C-alpha cells in the first residue's frame, strides 16, 4: 500500500470512530441545543471520513469504496488514534475528549493545507472550516464546565486526568508518518506539539484545570498494533447492519 493510502486511512479512521462516538449522544444530550450541536459535529466528522476513506480506497485501487472500508474491516485493520475510541463517559468527558482532539485536528488540517498532494490539501481546505468551529465550541464548553460549579470542575479535572495519557499518540510519528512527511504529504507530527501545548495550556488555565505532569502516552491505535477493548464494541454497533444484511442499501 502507498504512503498516501496509509495516511488517509489514519485520518479517516480517527474521524470515523470519533464521529460514531459523538453520534451516540444523539437524543441523549443534557439539553436540546447541545444535542443538535453534537449531532452536527458527528455529521461533520462522518462527512470528512467519506473524503479520507474515499481517498484511501482510491489509492488501494481494488475497487473498494469508503463504505467498504468503514463497514467491512475488523478491529485490527483500524488505524484511528486511541483517544477517539474511548467511551463517552459523562457529557463533560465527551467534550474534553472533543477539545483535546479538535485542537490537534485543527493544527493538523492547517498544516495539511500545504500538503504536496492536492487531494489531501483539498480535503484539508474543506475540513478546516468545520473544525475551526468544533474547537471554538468544545473549548468554550471545557472552560465553562471547568470554571463552573465544584461538581463540574471535578468532573472536568477527572476527564482531563483520564484522557491526557491518550494525547501523546497524536504526536508520535512512526515509519508511515515519517514517509508521509518525507513525501511532503503531511507535517512532522512532533512539530505540532509546541503549538498544541500552548493552546491547551491557555485553555486549561482559563478553565482552572491542571494538566497532568506525566507525558506517558498509550499508543498503538494509529499503527494498528493494539487498540483498546472499546473499539470492538463500537464496531458491533456500527457494522451490524452490513454484517447481518450484507450489501443492504437504501
Cα separation values, 171 from 162, 219, 236, Å? 18, 10, 29
Which of 36/175 has CB closer to another protein?
36
Which of 81/142 has CB closer to another protein?
142
Which of 73/153 has CB closer to another protein?
153
| Residues 72/66/26/93 CA torsion (nearest 10 deg) | 80
Rounded least distance, CB 45 to another protein, Å? 15
- Nearest alpha carbon to residue 137 among 236, 39, 250, 41: 41
Buried-exposed string 123-142: b where 16+ CB fall within 10 A, e elsewhere: bbeebbebbeebbebbbebb
Which of 32/244 has CB closer to another protein?
32
Which of 79/137 has CB closer to another protein?
137
Unique residue bearing C-alpha cell 481517498? 55
Rounded least distance, CB 154 to another protein, Å? 18
Q: Which residues bind another protein (CB under 8 A)?
A: 31-33, 36-37, 40, 133, 136-137, 140, 144
Rounded least distance, CB 163 to another protein, Å? 23
User: Cell digits for 117?
Assistant: 498532494
**Sign of the C-alpha dihedral computed for residues 5, 7, 12 and 18 taken in this order:** positive
Rounded least distance, CB 228 to another protein, Å? 30
Rounded least distance, CB 117 to another protein, Å? 30
Amino acid at each position: 500500500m502507498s504512503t498516501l493510502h496509509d495516511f488517509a486511512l489514519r485520518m479517516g479512521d480517527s474521524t470515523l470512530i470519533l464521529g460514531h462516538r459523538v453520534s451516540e449522544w444523539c437524543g441523549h444530550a443534557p439539553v436540546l441545543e447541545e444535542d443538535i450541536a453534537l449531532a452536527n459535529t458527528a455529521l461533520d466528522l462522518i462527512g470528512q471520513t467519506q473524503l479520507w476513506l474515499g481517498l484511501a480506497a482510491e489509492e488501494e485501487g481494488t475497487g473498494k469504496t469508503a463504505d467498504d472500508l468503514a463497514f467491512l474491516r475488523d478491529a485490527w485493520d483500524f488505524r484511528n488514534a486511541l483517544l477517539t475510541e474511548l467511551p463517552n463517559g459523562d457529557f463533560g468527558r465527551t467534550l474534553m475528549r472533543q477539545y483535546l482532539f479538535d485542537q490537534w485536528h485543527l493544527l493538523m488540517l492547517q498544516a495539511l493545507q500545504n500538503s504536496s498532494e492536492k487531494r489531501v490539501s483539498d480535503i484539508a481546505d474543506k475540513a478546516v472550516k468545520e473544525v475551526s468551529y468544533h474547537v471554538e465550541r468544545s473549548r468554550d464548553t471545557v472552560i465553562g464546565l471547568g470554571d463552573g460549579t465544584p461538581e463540574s470542575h471535578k468532573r472536568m479535572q477527572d476527564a482531563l486526568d483520564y484522557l491526557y495519557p491518550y494525547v501523546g499518540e497524536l504526536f508520535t510519528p512512526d515509519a508511515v508518518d515519517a514517509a508521509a512527511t518525507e513525501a511532503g504529504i503531511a507535517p512532522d507530527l512532533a512539530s505540532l506539539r509546541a503549538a498544541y501545548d500552548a493552546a491547551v495550556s491557555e485553555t486549561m488555565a482559563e478553565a482552572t484545570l491542571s494538566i497532568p505532569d506525566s507525558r506517558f502516552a498509550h499508543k498503538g491505535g494509529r499503527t494498528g498494533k493494539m487498540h483498546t477493548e472499546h473499539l470492538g464494541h463500537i464496531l458491533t454497533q456500527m457494522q451490524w447492519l452490513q454484517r447481518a444484511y450484507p450489501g443492504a442499501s437504501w
